[in-house]
Structure 1
Amino acid sequence: MPRFLQFLESLMPINKDPNVLVTDMHFGTIPVRLLKPKKASSQPRRGIIFYHGGGALTGSLDRYQSLCSLLASETDSVVLMVGYRKLPGYHHPVLTNDCQNASIYFLKNLESFGVDPSRVVLCGDSVGAWVMAAVIQALTSFPSLPQVTAQVLIYPILNLINFQLPSHQQNKNVPFLTRDFMFMCICKYLVIDPSWKDAMLTGAAIPLDKWKKYRKWLSYDNIPRRFWSQDPQPEILGPFNEAAYLETKHTWSAKISPLLSDDKTIAQLPKTFLVSCEHDMVRDDALLYKKRLEDQGVPVSWYHVEDGFHGCLLLFDKKCFSFPCCMKLINAVISYIKGI
């Protein structure tokens, strides 16, 4: 099925912008695509590193080219798209490693790409925002690199521990990210046997001592009450299943659940733009991360799309399939980046 989905995706036409120069290249073995306005610039441009979504299963440089072309032209920026390796042939941590290595190379060579080192933005949607969060946290350990100015996370997935959050209860069957599809991607990418799905959903894979330690960051107590269900289901951990924990314990790594990074790392992150959608199963991940960042003094701008849903970003140019929320989201991102 993964290869079939990728085949269908490859048949979709690419909407090309005649005003944007597109260059394919490789950073080592990692395919990347550089987009920049064709018009000359008298000074170095803003740089955007973009990590695409797709659950580590779909999504590609071609699929996201029209979106990144729009970002390049509307914000007058140089956009680097990272074509990381994905399922079914590659598993964790390949996606993160590819994105981190490509980002480090780009940051080391900004001037050769015509980018102003003081105006670099990292941006990603869905699983791309997940890997972006992990990469930018890792970059805090590279003080010799140019500092990233801002991070933009569009409906990010940041927590693979607590699946009892209100948004998981409310939106588990809302396209394009249903609970079944999300768990298929999680299990395949992290090499977790699908038989542990119920234990993960009910919290039976969570040791009580770890829950006591991390509850302050993972519990829906940190989510504004207006996002709770009218009759919210309490967060009750299922009877602890040690075998399930041993099979899934790698999800407690900050590289997989960026919400769990220590306060020192969070405090070093740049100013942040968070986008969440009302009808999205992972909506509450963005809300939890917002609080974590704010608690550590990181400036956060938040845009909530009341009529939005996961994946709506890519429908902005699909004519009859485009919804008002698509352009509202994109315009909010463009406006924020133009202010950098």
Structure 2
Amino acid sequence: MCALLLAPLLALPAFLLGVLVWVILEHFLTTDVPPVLQHRLKFRFLHCMFLYVVTLGNINEKLGICSMAKFFRFFQDCMIIRNDPKLVVTNLRYGTVPVRLFQPKAASFRPRRGVIFYHGGGGILGSLDAYHSLCSFLARETDSVVLSVGYRMYPDYHSPTMIQDCINACIHFLKSLNTYGVDSKRVLVCGESVGGLAVALISQFLLNRSDLPRIRAQILIYPFFQAINLQLPSFQQSQNIPFLTRKFMISCLCNCASIDPSWQDAIVNGSYIPPKMWKKYQKWLSADNIPQEFKKNYRSLVPSPFNEAAYLEAQILLDVKYSPLIAEDEIFAQLPEAFLLSCENDILRDDTLLYKKRLEDQGVPVTWYHIEDGFHGSMILFDKKPFSFPCSLKLMNALVCYINGIQ
């Protein structure tokens, strides 16, 4: 009888250990760790832990216990939140959108800057709690009022809801600037990864809202901008570099856009794009627009034959709401100045380079900061000692320096 009772207790640790061994093998068999990255052993450890939680989440999802996304976010939100004594932190709701406001306690002789922050995570990971310390740091170090937006995510909601939440929160904040002591001429929108997509779309959307204060600057941190040309140099060079591998990126994209995963190959090779559309977008999205120094080991591939069935399934990705890089020149010419931050070892590096070129071609001022030893997701690790990296601190210092320069 005792043996029967002990069996489940012994089975669980054996199962968890087996999963751990599996993900370690997967990491070493499928992951690239560039030599330029500092603290490579720490990087490998963190990625194994990332894979471990994702794999356990996928198992839970298959068993019908809970989705991988919710399982991962549960662990993300287990981090201890420390409130900064120099800030007043307030949880609010703008309609259905949860937001968190960070305000410096010290008196100010004039209205402060306002920073609207949209977190990353591919529309699947991330939360207000996960980015609490980062937003606290920004508010304290830049003496700004920071609004962190907790947009709704997969699996309960899909990307149209996420973008609409981001827009609604921005509009609500812009209408309440006097309440929060924010200077209407110094409002910045800032986003990381998919949060950068939100920033780009909001910057375009607000051009038609003359009733709202104009955004002073857009800040985009290794942003996702398009799912049309996934054969750019960085997509080839960094497809197996954590923490955003091509496999994970396409999985997030299909989940958030409600596209059947069986069409992943068609999305990657571009066969879902009608030839006439690709001819139009090529002038903006072609690898010809990427500087030569970023094309190491790049192979130009022949486009795959058009697949109409794939187009009918994935055509939503050709909408400007998923690919703001395809907005017309007239739109780009009106956009506010931009601070762009890219990482060399990031599959999305070239999205930033293409956006930079489009803005500069239309005469929009651009400040660009490139981190040679940086990788996707490094931002959130800036204060996670002993798991922070030099590139994380470089990123945050560059961001703070730019915001403080907005007078």
- Using structure 1 for the length normalisation, give the TM-score: 0.98
Match of 1:146 in 2: 213
Q: 1:198-237 to 2 correspondence within 5 Å?
A: 198-230=265-297, 232-237=298-303
Residue 42 (structure 1) shift: 2.0
Residues 21 and 37 in structure 1, CA contact (< 8 A), matched pair in contact too: yes
Residue 255 (structure 1) shift: 1.0
Runs (4+) of structure 1 exceeding 2 A deviation are none
Match of 2:396 in 1: 330
Instruction: Give the counterpart of 1:283 among 349, 355, 372.
Output: 349
Residue 24 (structure 1) shift: 0.5
CA distance in 2, matches of 1:192, 1:135: 24
Q: Secondary structure at the match of 1:17?
A: coil
Whether 1:118 aligns to 2:185 is yes
CA distance in 2, matches of 1:199, 1:161: 11
Whether 1:293 aligns to 2:352 is no
Whether 1:66 aligns to 2:133 is yes
C-alpha distance after superposition, 1:216-268 (max 9, x if no partner): 111110000110023x2113211111110111111111111010111111111
C-alpha distance after superposition, 1:111-156 (max 9, x if no partner): 1110000100000100111111111111111011100100100000
C-alpha distance after superposition, 1:246-303 (max 9, x if no partner): 1111111111101011111111110000000000000000000000001111100100
User: Given residue 205 of structure 2, which amino acid in structure 1 is its aligned partner?
Assistant: A
- Using structure 2 for the length normalisation, give the TM-score: 0.82
Residues 51 and 125 in structure 1, CA contact (< 8 A), matched pair in contact too: yes
CA distance in 2, matches of 1:129, 1:83: 14
Q: Secondary structure at the match of 1:53?
A: coil
User: Given residue 285 of structure 1, which amino acid in structure 2 is its aligned partner?
Assistant: D
Unaligned runs of 5+ in 2: 1-67
User: Given residue 242 of structure 1, which amino acid in structure 2 is its aligned partner?
Assistant: E
Instruction: Give the counterpart of 2:123 among 39, 49, 56.
Output: 56
Instruction: Give the counterpart of 1:313 among 376, 379, 392.
Output: 379
Match of 1:172 in 2: 239
CA distance in 2, matches of 1:330, 1:99: 23
Instruction: Give the counterpart of 1:83 among 142, 150, 163.
Output: 150
Residue 18 (structure 1) shift: 1.7
CA distance in 2, matches of 1:79, 1:336: 15
Instruction: Give the counterpart of 2:310 among 244, 249, 261.
Output: 244
Tell me which protein shows more helix as a share of its residues.
Answer: 2
Q: 1:85-104 to 2 correspondence within 5 Å?
A: 85-104=152-171
CA RMSD of aligned residues (A): 0.9
Match of 1:38 in 2: 105
Residues 203 and 236 in structure 1, CA contact (< 8 A), matched pair in contact too: no
CA distance in 1, matches of 2:270, 2:170: 35
User: Given residue 247 of structure 1, which amino acid in structure 2 is its aligned partner?
Assistant: E
Largest Rg, 1 or 2: 2
Residue 98 (structure 1) shift: 0.3
CA distance in 2, matches of 1:297, 1:202: 33
Instruction: Give the counterpart of 1:130 among 177, 186, 197.
Output: 197
Match of 2:248 in 1: 181
Q: Secondary structure at the match of 2:386?
A: helix
User: Given residue 321 of structure 2, which amino acid in structure 1 is its aligned partner?
Assistant: K
Residue 207 (structure 1) shift: 1.4
Aligned pair count reads: 339
C-alpha distance after superposition, 1:60-89 (max 9, x if no partner): 111111111111011100001111000110
Whether 1:12 aligns to 2:90 is no
CA distance in 2, matches of 1:265, 1:10: 38
Residue 211 (structure 1) shift: 1.2
Q: Secondary structure at the match of 1:269?
A: coil
CA distance in 1, matches of 2:378, 2:94: 30
CA distance in 2, matches of 1:126, 1:176: 11
Residue 15 (structure 1) shift: 3.3
Which 10-residue stretch deviates more, 64-73 or 200-209?
A: 200-209
User: Given residue 315 of structure 1, which amino acid in structure 2 is its aligned partner?
Assistant: L
Q: Secondary structure at the match of 2:306?
A: coil
Residues 57 and 87 in structure 1, CA contact (< 8 A), matched pair in contact too: yes
Residue 166 (structure 1) shift: 0.5
CA distance in 2, matches of 1:197, 1:305: 30
CA distance in 1, matches of 2:320, 2:270: 18
Whether 1:266 aligns to 2:319 is no
Residues 160 and 251 in structure 1, CA contact (< 8 A), matched pair in contact too: yes
Match of 1:158 in 2: 225
Q: Secondary structure at the match of 1:184?
A: helix
CA distance in 1, matches of 2:311, 2:301: 18
Residues 49 and 82 in structure 1, CA contact (< 8 A), matched pair in contact too: yes
Q: Secondary structure at the match of 1:214?
A: helix
Residues 206 and 237 in structure 1, CA contact (< 8 A), matched pair in contact too: no
User: Given residue 284 of structure 1, which amino acid in structure 2 is its aligned partner?
Assistant: D
Residues 30 and 84 in structure 1, CA contact (< 8 A), matched pair in contact too: yes
